[in-house]
Amino acid sequence: MTQGSVVTETVAGEVVIIVNGDERRLPAGSTVADLLASLKLDPRTVVVERNRTILRDRSSFAMLELATDDSFEIVHFVGGG
């Protein structure tokens, strides 16, 4: 399946997703928590949007499996003033 100019598919035990506009490959069966860990992001300091829906329940990240065609936008909180 095509999303813009990027092909999203499951290939050889991997799932191909889009994160902030860039293609990423993770092992099939990976979760949102695995995605954040691979990006070295603390789930407490980010907002995750999956397929245009904000994921509000951070405790569910370890149970939400990534799927082909998933598109994520991840925003990191920045402090200061």
Q: DSSP per residue over 19-54, as a string?
A: ETTEEEEEETT-BHHHHHHHTT--GGGEEEEETTEE
Q: Is the pLDDT of residue 8 over 50?
A: no
Q: How far apart are CA 69 and CA 41, in angstroms?
A: 22
CATH of domain 2-75: 3.10.20.30
The pLDDT assigned to 5 comes to 39
Q: What mean pLDDT comes out for the span 34-50? A: 97
The pLDDT assigned to 11 comes to 62
Written as six digits, the tokens of 46 are 């980010």
Domain-by-domain residue ranges, the chain?
Answer: 2-75
- Say what the pTM is: 0.82
Q: Is the pLDDT higher at 7 or at 18?
A: 18
pLDDT digit string (tens) for 47-66? 999 999 999 999 999 999 99
Arithmetic mean of pLDDT over the chain? 87
